[in-house]
Chains A and B, each alone.
Chain A
C-alpha cells in the first residue's frame, strides 16, 4: 500500500509493508518505523512502537483519515496521486463551510472594504452567521443571492485582496 497523505501541512508519502505475526514496517516520507503487535478493527488501531503500546480510534473515508487518541482529533486529507500540487486554497475566495441559506448581502458588488467588514449574512442551523472580509480588498460579486441555499464549498463572495 502506498498513498499520499496531508500530514501537518505537508503531503507525505506513506506505505505499509506487513511482516510476520502482526509486525509492520511503516514508511513516512524517508523515515521507516518498525511496528509490532498491530491489531486493527471496529474503528480502532493498536500497535507497539519504540517500546510503548499505542491505542487510537481511526477510520479512513474516501478523502480523509480521521484519528483520535481521546485528547486530540486529527484529520489527514488523502491526496490524489498527481494532484499533490493543488493543495492550497484558491486565494481570495470565500466559500461556505456549512449548508445554509443566504439571508442578505451587506455591501454592493465592486465595493472596496477593510478587513473584518461584514459582507454577507448566512443563516445556518437557525443562527445568523456574518461572513466578513478576510483582508482589505474589493468585493467582485456574489454568486448566491438572498434566499438561495448553499452547500459546503459553495463560493459566497468573489473577493480580490488589495495589493
Chain B
C-alpha cells in the first residue's frame, strides 16, 4: 500500500487552488461530517423533480439551498422546498433557466458557495461550468474540459477508442453532403441511425430503413439539432438489432480515486425516451459488469473526469458491448443505483465537489436486491403519448417499504406546456427482480393523479406484462407488446363513481366554471349534504 502515499499529498495541494476553497482551508479533506455542511449554501440551477431531489440532498448535508424560478414556476415544488428562491425570468428556458448571467447574479446576491446544475438545462454546458468556477464558486459536477470532451459525440467516440473501448461502426467524416452519407450508409448496411453530434435525449435522432428516406431524415435531424443545440452537425451509426442500453454509473474524486457503481438497464424506451430503468440488468453477469465498469472508468479517466457521471453502452445479443456516449451529469434514473448500492449520489456529488476523498472501495461496492424506476410523464398514451397540460385536482401518493417517489407534484400544481413532461419518478426496491416488479405494481396502484393525463395506467400495464417479468426487455418492447394501447371500457362501478363525483361537484359548479376546475371538497361528506339540486 506504499504506492498510495504519494496520492495523499496531492489533495492537500489541490484544496488551496480555486478561490472558492479559501473559506474552508482549515477543514481536513476526506473527513465525513454529516453533522456539518459541506457548503453553507448551494444554488440549484434547475427546476422540477431533480431540483427537489438535489434540494433534499443538500439539506440533509446541512447546506442551505437557493432555488430559482421562471414565471410559471413561482409556486413550483422546488420553490416550496428550498430555503429561499429568486425569480429569474419568463417561461422560455432561454429567458430563465438558461440565463447564466442571472443565475450567477443570484448566486452572488445570496452568497452561495456552490452551484448544482441538476440534469438538462446547463448541466452539460462547459461554458457555464467555467463561469461558475471563475465566479469563485464550486461547480458540483465534472470539470469543464471533461464536459467539453464528452459533449461532442464524434470526439467522445474517438476518446473512447483511445481508452480501449469498442465503438459502434459509424460515419463521422468531414464531408457532410447527402451523397457522402448515402455512400457510408450503403457501406455499413441499413437500418442506420442519424444522430445529432451535440445531441441528447433522443432529439435529432432518426432511424432510417432505406436509402430513399435518408435525405429527409438528415434534413429533419439537422433542423431539430440546430434548433435544440445550436449545432446542426449530424453523424451516422449502424443500428444494432435488438440492442440493450446498459449504462454504468461512475464516481471519481479530485484525488484520482474512482469506482463504478454497476449498471442500469434502460431498455424499455419509447422513441428513444426512457420509460423504465432498472438495476441490475438481467443480462449482465458479475464478470461482464466488472469489464464494463472498468471500461467506463478508463473512459472517464481519459478525459480527467471528476464527480458523478454515466457511461452508456449498447449491448448486442452476443454479449459484445459498444461505447455510446458519456452523460456528464447526474442521470434521471440515478435512484435505482442508490437503492441497490446503498449510496447517495447527490451527497457524493457535494462531497467530491468539496474536495473530499472517495471512501468507497470497488471491492466493497456490491449490488443488493433489485430496483426499478418508472418515469411518470404528463402524456396521453392513448393519443400517441402527446404531452398533456392541466391542474392536479387529486393526488394520492404511495408508501410502504422499498418505495421511493421523486416528484414535483402536489394538489393544485398546474402542469404547463413550457417544460419537459416528466413529472416524477416512482422507484421500487425488492429482494429480487420479481419482488421489485410486484412492489412497483402495488405502488403504481396507490399513486393516483387526476386532473392531468399521465402515463400511469400504461406503466401499470407495462410492468405487469408477462414479457417484462421474463426480462425480455429490448428497445422494441413497447411497439411489439403495446402497438395500440387503449383504456378498457369503464365498468359499472367506475360509472357509478363518476355520477357520485358529479353530484358532489354540482353545488360548486358555478364557481368551477370560471377556471375549468372544481375546488376539492373538504372532508368526507355525507350524501345528504349534496342532495338538493
A91 at interface (Cβ–Cβ under 8 A)? no
**Which residues of chain A have C-beta atoms less than 8 A from B497's C-beta?**
45, 47, 54, 56, 58, 67
A interface SS class: strand
Chain B's closest residue to A130 (CB) is B220
B456 at interface (Cβ–Cβ under 8 A)? yes
**Which residues of chain B have C-beta atoms less than 8 A from A73's C-beta?**
450, 453-454, 456-457, 487
A16 at interface (Cβ–Cβ under 8 A)? yes
**Which residues of chain A have C-beta atoms less than 8 A from B447's C-beta?**
70
Known contacts A62-B512, A71-B460, A41 near B524 by CB under 8 Å? yes
A76 at interface (Cβ–Cβ under 8 A)? yes
CA distance A24 to B505 in the complex (A): 16
B448 at interface (Cβ–Cβ under 8 A)? yes
Chain B's closest residue to A76 (CB) is B498
A97 at interface (Cβ–Cβ under 8 A)? yes
A109 at interface (Cβ–Cβ under 8 A)? no
- A40 & B451 in contact (Cβ 8 Å cutoff): no
Chain A's closest residue to B416 (CB) is A99
CA distance A16 to B500 in the complex (A): 7
- A128 & B504 in contact (Cβ 8 Å cutoff): no
Q: Give chain A nearest CB distance to B378 CB in angstroms.
A: 9
Q: Give chain A nearest CB distance to B3 CB in angstroms.
A: 49
B389 at interface (Cβ–Cβ under 8 A)? yes
Known contacts A57-B394, A70-B444, A125-B421, A33 near B503 by CB under 8 Å? no
A127 at interface (Cβ–Cβ under 8 A)? yes
**Which residues of chain A have C-beta atoms less than 8 A from B420's C-beta?**
125-126
**Which residues of chain A have C-beta atoms less than 8 A from B31's C-beta?**
none
A63 at interface (Cβ–Cβ under 8 A)? yes
Q: Give chain B nearest CB distance to A100 CB in angstroms.
A: 7
B522 at interface (Cβ–Cβ under 8 A)? yes
B492 at interface (Cβ–Cβ under 8 A)? yes
CA distance A142 to B328 in the complex (A): 42
A60 at interface (Cβ–Cβ under 8 A)? yes
B319 at interface (Cβ–Cβ under 8 A)? no
Most B CB atoms within 10 A — which of A16, A43, A65? A43
B533 at interface (Cβ–Cβ under 8 A)? yes
Q: Give chain B nearest CB distance to A42 CB in angstroms.
A: 6
CA distance A63 to B516 in the complex (A): 8
**Which residues of chain B have C-beta atoms less than 8 A from A70's C-beta?**
444-448, 460
**1/0 per position for A38-60, CB-CB distance to B under 8 A?**
11111111010100001011111
Q: Give chain A nearest CB distance to B445 CB in angstroms.
A: 4
- B495 & A58 in contact (Cβ 8 Å cutoff): no
- B496 & A35 in contact (Cβ 8 Å cutoff): yes
Which of A3-11, A81-89, A133-141, A155-163 faces chain B? A3-11
B474 at interface (Cβ–Cβ under 8 A)? no
**Which residues of chain A have C-beta atoms less than 8 A from B502's C-beta?**
1, 3, 5, 14, 60, 65, 78
**Which residues of chain A have C-beta atoms less than 8 A from B498's C-beta?**
5, 7, 14, 58, 60, 65, 67, 74, 76
CA distance A78 to B502 in the complex (A): 9
A69 at interface (Cβ–Cβ under 8 A)? yes
A28 at interface (Cβ–Cβ under 8 A)? yes
CA distance A121 to B223 in the complex (A): 11
B130 at interface (Cβ–Cβ under 8 A)? no
Known contacts A43-B394, A98-B389, A69 near B494 by CB under 8 Å? yes
Q: Give chain A nearest CB distance to B435 CB in angstroms.
A: 20
Chain B: interface size category: 35 or more
Contacting residue for B487 out of A1, A33, A72, CB 8 A? A72
- A125 & B417 in contact (Cβ 8 Å cutoff): yes
CA distance A40 to B489 in the complex (A): 23
- A59 & B394 in contact (Cβ 8 Å cutoff): yes
Q: Give chain B nearest CB distance to A20 CB in angstroms.
A: 8
- B528 & A72 in contact (Cβ 8 Å cutoff): no
- B500 & A26 in contact (Cβ 8 Å cutoff): yes
A66 at interface (Cβ–Cβ under 8 A)? yes
CA distance A104 to B228 in the complex (A): 16
Most B CB atoms within 10 A — which of A12, A28, A65, A97? A65
Q: Give chain B nearest CB distance to A14 CB in angstroms.
A: 5
Which of B78-86, B336-344, B380-388 faces chain A? B380-388
A18 at interface (Cβ–Cβ under 8 A)? yes
A116 at interface (Cβ–Cβ under 8 A)? no
B490 at interface (Cβ–Cβ under 8 A)? yes
A68 at interface (Cβ–Cβ under 8 A)? yes
**Which residues of chain B have C-beta atoms less than 8 A from A74's C-beta?**
487, 490, 494, 498
Contacting residue for A124 out of B227, B387, B448, B454, CB 8 A? B387
Known contacts A8-B489, A16-B500, A56-B493, A42 near B383 by CB under 8 Å? no
Q: Give chain B nearest CB distance to A65 CB in angstroms.
A: 4
- B520 & A45 in contact (Cβ 8 Å cutoff): no
B364 at interface (Cβ–Cβ under 8 A)? no
Restricting to B432-490, which residues have a CB under 8 Å from any CB of A? Answer: 444-448, 450-451, 453-454, 456-457, 460, 487-490
A22 at interface (Cβ–Cβ under 8 A)? yes
**Which residues of chain A have C-beta atoms less than 8 A from B224's C-beta?**
128
Q: Give chain A nearest CB distance to B438 CB in angstroms.
A: 15
- A22 & B526 in contact (Cβ 8 Å cutoff): yes
**1/0 per position for B500-512, CB-CB distance to A under 8 A?**
1111111001001
Contacting residue for A16 out of B387, B451, B503, CB 8 A? B503
CA distance A38 to B504 in the complex (A): 11
CA distance A3 to B500 in the complex (A): 11
- B496 & A59 in contact (Cβ 8 Å cutoff): no
Chosen A-B contacts, 25 in total, with CB atoms closer than 8 Å, are A14-B495, A26-B496, A26-B500, A33-B492, A35-B500, A40-B525, A42-B394, A42-B523, A45-B500, A56-B493, A58-B394, A60-B501, A61-B517, A63-B516, A66-B393, A67-B494, A67-B501, A68-B457, A70-B447, A72-B490, A74-B494, A76-B490, A76-B498, A78-B502, A125-B417
Closest 5 CB pairs of A and B: A43-B394, A60-B505, A58-B501, A70-B445, A56-B497
Chain B interface residues toward A at CB < 8 A: 203, 220, 223-224, 227-228, 380, 383, 386-389, 393-396, 411, 417, 419-421, 444-448, 450-451, 453-454, 456-457, 460, 487-490, 492-506, 509, 512-513, 516-518, 520-528, 530-531, 533
Known: A60-B518, A74-B487, A128-B223. 14 other contacts (CB 8 A): A1-B503, A3-B499, A35-B496, A42-B521, A43-B396, A60-B512, A63-B516, A66-B393, A73-B487, A76-B490, A97-B386, A124-B417, A128-B224, A129-B386
